[in-house]
C-alpha cells in the first residue's frame, strides 16, 4: 500500500469568462514551476462586479503535491505567493519589448554585476538590457 505525504500551496486564479477557466489559469501558472500536482481543492469563489455584471471571477485553489523525490524545484513554490487582495504573484520574469531578452530574477545578470535572486524592481535604474542596451522601462512582466 502506498501512502503519500502532500505539500499544499494556495493560489488564486482569475478569469473574465468562467470559474473553471479561473481554476485552469491558476493550475497552468503553477505548472510552470511545479509539475507533480495531484489534486486541487477550490477554497473560495468570488467575483468583481462592473456595470451590473460579472467583470471577472477569482477562484482560490489549494494544490496538493506528491512530495516523494525531488518534486518541487528549488524556488518553485516560494515564487508563487499571494499578495494582499488575493492576486497571484507572477514568476518575476520580465521580457525586453525590443529584443525579447528575458530577465529571470533566479539567475540575475551576473555578467553585469547583478546577483541571482535580484528582483527586477530592485535592479539599478541605470541597468540596461544585456542584449540590446535599452532601459528598464522597455521591459514588461511576463505572465
Ligand atoms: Fe533588449
Tell me, in angstroms, the distance from the centre of ligand 1 to residue 111's CA. 15
For 40-98, what is each residue's pLDDT tens digit? 899 999 999 999 998 999 999 988 877 665 444 444 444 444 444 444 556 789 999 99
Tell me, in angstroms, the distance from the centre of ligand 1 to residue 133's CA. 6
- Asked whether the beta carbons of 94 and 102 are under 8 A apart, the reply is yes
Q: How confident is the model at residue 32 (pLDDT cuts 50, 70, 90)?
A: low
Tell me, in angstroms, the distance from the centre of ligand 1 to residue 134's CA. 6
CB atoms within 10 A of CB 52: 5
Tell me, in angstroms, the distance from the centre of ligand 1 to residue 117's CA. 20
Tell me, in angstroms, the distance from the centre of ligand 1 to residue 130's CA. 7
pLDDT at 9: 84
For 99-113, what is each residue's pLDDT tens digit? 999 999 999 999 999
Query: Per the structure block, which three cell numbers stand in for 3?
Result: 501512502
- Asked whether the beta carbons of 103 and 58 are under 8 A apart, the reply is no
pTM (two decimals): 0.43
- The C-alpha atoms of residue 72 and residue 32 are separated, in whole angstroms, by 11
Tell me, in angstroms, the distance from the centre of ligand 1 to residue 104's CA. 13
Amino acid at each position: 500500500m502506498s501512502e503519500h505525504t502532500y505539500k499544499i500551496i494556495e493560489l488564486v486564479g482569475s478569469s473574465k469568462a468562467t470559474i473553471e477557466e479561473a481554476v485552469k489559469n491558476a493550475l497552468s501558472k503553477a505548472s510552470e514551476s511545479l509539475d507533480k500536482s495531484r489534486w486541487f481543492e477550490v477554497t473560495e469563489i468570488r467575483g468583481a462586479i462592473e456595470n451590473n455584471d460579472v467583470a471577472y471571477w477569482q477562484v482560490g485553489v489549494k494544490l496538493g503535491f506528491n512530495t516523494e523525490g525531488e518534486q518541487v524545484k528549488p524556488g518553485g513554490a516560494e515564487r508563487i505567493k499571494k499578495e494582499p487582495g488575493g492576486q497571484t504573484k507572477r514568476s518575476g520574469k520580465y521580457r525586453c519589448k525590443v529584443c525579447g531578452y528575458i530577465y529571470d530574477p533566479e539567475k540575475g545578470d551576473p555578467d553585469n554585476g547583478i546577483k541571482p535572486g535580484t528582483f527586477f524592481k530592485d535592479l539599478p535604474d541605470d541597468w540596461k538590457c544585456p542584449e540590446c542596451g535599452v532601459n528598464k522601462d522597455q521591459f514588461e512582466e511576463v505572465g
